[in-house]
Amino acid sequence: MRLRGFIGQAGDSNNPKRLLLQVCQSVLGHDYSNDEKRDLFLGPVAVSAAFLKNPDLFNAMANQIKGSFEEEDYSALGGLICFDGPSVKEYDIHTAITKCGKIYQIHENLNAFRDGFFKGHPNRSDQLQVNSLQRWLDTLLYGCLYNSEHVFEQDASTLVQIIAEREDAPFSQHVLYQGVRIFIQHFQDNNLLTNPLVVELLSQSDHQGRSKIYLETLLRNIVESAVSNFNLRQYATYTVSLFPPNQTNSSSRSRGEDASTNSSRRAGPIKAFYDYSSAYKQDLPAQLFQRIQATASELAVEQSNGFLITFLSELIPVADTWFNEAKSCIRSLITLHIIRTVGYEPKKPTDWTRLEEISTCSHSNDDSCLKMNAFLKDPEASYYALGEKDYYLRSHFHNFEYFDVEEKGPWNVVGVTKTNKWWEEQHPKWQARAEKVLEAVKKLPQDRLQECLGDEYDGVMDLKMVKIMDDADIDDPLQSDQEGKGYSELASFVPQKRRRENSEST
């Protein structure tokens, strides 16, 4: 940039121009470690080629680009191109802007190019120039929409923006609407597009005029494929990215919105989507519930903890409970939320065996290992005294964080007593999580929730699916598995204070 400025001051002098050309050729001949890094350097080369009015240099750059330049380079390029007689080949300009093949990125490149054009041209107020630029941009963008081979999640908001930003240009808006419609039709079975696009379309309530009509038409065109391809994890991820909790909290306070409005925004437009599906086709709500239930297990743990309860608070009031699919879906989501957020109730340990260290005894001449293993496994045995011959067991008992260790000097263990310290530490934490989740569940519409859960309502409100129960009451296979596991088999049970690699087997 400094060199180009120096050339501008030097007038017709060829020396600075020759130097700039050499720098550009050096960049083109360099071997870069990856395409992204190469594209970063190709942007200034493109701007320099346009500045030098060197079509061969610009063509050489266009042949190397794999993605996109920086935004400032497209802006600078727009300020140097004149459509009355461009200094470089128009096809190469197309390549520089569209090579990445990503609609959302191409749209950003074109906007930067347009902004640079208006900033850099003295005749930018010339309506002929403005109209020529707009036709050129629209033609290029329409061609990309028509021929695109790839779709990305970020394309959803771009498609809405393409239509909305042309409200004051009816012909341009209509042409680009047709391109957007073709693009959506091509990728309508790809949930990378349909999930975020339905969120975008249903969240755009402030558009008026032709934009509103076009966007509503697009929604009608995709509603069936959006239902059949609905994925709750993708929906949650995209919704949270649009309305992050910290952003919605601060923005809601500034607008004077209450907590319920804020919560509704974080859940996304699921209520509007359900209502729209119901009005569009009678069997779509049942399909939507099936898709929600089928994909709920894909939710990340943090989504189960934060997003799911707000999602339920929006879905339950509008759900038609005469759909069996609705009842099954609500039961499944409530259960998933409780199990993942609360976790299973910690059970007092009965089996202290450490299979990873106490497998086979390396001292075959005595039965000390067998005795110690028997003590660890016996739920009735509480104290183990070490004999004089058990010297090789002494260090191992130091690895038990939740045992009381009796010592006669450093590393001289003479006995150990089992305790419930682990359970006493973990159970209050579990109880606090359970109370917090139950408080949130109680805030859901209880009449509607009771309709969905039926005879299981009392059990859910008592958190029976995660509580330790008598054997006669167990009917959940997950709970049965929980009850049957020994202390060392449960992931949350960590009896060792530390583990020793290559420690002696006992």
Q: What is the pLDDT of residue 468?
A: 86
Q: Name the amino acid, one letter, at 222.
A: I
Rg (CA), the chain: 33
DSSP 360-404: S-S-TTSSHHHHHHHHHH-SS--EEE--GGGHHHHHHHTTBTTEE
Which range scores top for mean pLDDT: 9-23, 447-461, 468-482? 447-461
- Whole-number Å distance between alpha carbons of 212 and 218: 10
SS3 content of the chain, % helix, strand, coil (to 5): 65, 5, 30
- Whole-number Å distance between alpha carbons of 195 and 223: 10
Element (H, E) at 406: strand 403-407
367 to 270, 360, 390, 411, 417: CA distances (angstroms): 65, 11, 10, 22, 20
- Whole-number Å distance between alpha carbons of 487 and 496: 11
pTM, whole model, 2 decimals? 0.77
Q: What is the pLDDT of residue 262?
A: 59
Share of the chain above pLDDT 90, in %: 49
Name every residue whose Cβ is closer than 8 Å to that of residue 182 and which is 6 or more positions away in sequence: 145, 146
Is 45 a residue whose pLDDT tops 80?
yes
> For 339-391, how does the pLDDT look when each residue is reduced to its tens digit (9 = 90+)?
999 999 998 888 776 544 444 555 555 577 777 778 888 888 989 887 776 76
383 DSSP β-pair partners: 417
Q: What is the pLDDT of residue 96?
A: 94
DSSP 287-307: HHHHHHHHHGGGS-HHHHHHH
> Residue 121: pLDDT band by 50, 70, 90 thresholds?
low
The per-type count for the chain, helices as H runs and strands as E runs, is 25, 3
> Residue 396: pLDDT band by 50, 70, 90 thresholds?
low
Evaluated on CA atoms 491, 496, 500, 505, the torsion sign reads negative
- The CA dihedral of 383, 389, 395, 400, to the nearest 10 degrees, is -20
| Least confident stretch, 69-83, 167-181, 271-285, 465-479 | 465-479
DSSP three-state, residue 415: strand
- Stretch 7-33: mean pLDDT: 76
Q: What is the pLDDT of residue 80?
A: 87
Q: Rounded mean pLDDT of the chain?
A: 81
| Least confident stretch, 61-70, 134-143, 317-326 | 317-326
228 to 238, 266, 277, 469: CA distances (angstroms): 18, 23, 11, 39
Residue 62 has a CB neighbour count (10 Å cut-off) of 21
How far, rounded to the nearest angstrom, does the alpha carbon of residue 262 sit from its chain's CA centroid? 20
Smallest Cα–Cα separation from 433: which of 371, 340, 368?
340
426 to 384, 398, 422, 468: CA distances (angstroms): 25, 21, 6, 14
DSSP 209-234: HHHHHHHHHHHHHHHHHHHHT--HHH
- Whole-number Å distance between alpha carbons of 166 and 149: 25
First-last CA distance in the chain: 72
- Is residue 228 within 8 Å of residue 291, measured between CB atoms? yes
| Least confident stretch, 77-91, 149-163, 441-455 | 77-91
Smallest Cα–Cα separation from 342: which of 437, 422, 443?
437
Q: Which residue has the higher pLDDT, 422 or 104?
A: 104
Evaluated on CA atoms 329, 335, 336, 337, the torsion sign reads positive
> For 289-308, how does the pLDDT look when each residue is reduced to its tens digit (9 = 90+)?
999 999 999 998 888 877 99
- Is residue 48 within 8 Å of residue 42, measured between CB atoms? no
Is 264 a residue whose pLDDT tops 60?
yes
- Is residue 88 within 8 Å of residue 58, measured between CB atoms? yes
Q: What is the pLDDT of residue 408?
A: 80
Element (H, E) at 414: strand 413-418
Phi, psi of 200 (to 5 degrees): -65, -45
Is 494 a residue whose pLDDT tops 60?
no
> For 51-109, how does the pLDDT look when each residue is reduced to its tens digit (9 = 90+)?
888 999 999 999 999 999 999 999 999 988 877 677 889 899 999 999 999 999 999 99
How buried is residue 34: exposed, middle or buried, by Cβ count under 10 Å (0-12/13-18/19+)? exposed
- Whole-number Å distance between alpha carbons of 493 and 380: 19
- Whole-number Å distance between alpha carbons of 127 and 133: 10
- Whole-number Å distance between alpha carbons of 288 and 280: 13
| Least confident stretch, 56-60, 212-216, 227-231, 398-402 | 398-402
Q: Name the amino acid, one letter, at 241.
A: S
- The CA dihedral of 494, 496, 498, 503, to the nearest 10 degrees, is -130
Residue 92 has a CB neighbour count (10 Å cut-off) of 21
Q: What is the pLDDT of residue 205?
A: 64
- Is residue 117 within 8 Å of residue 109, measured between CB atoms? no
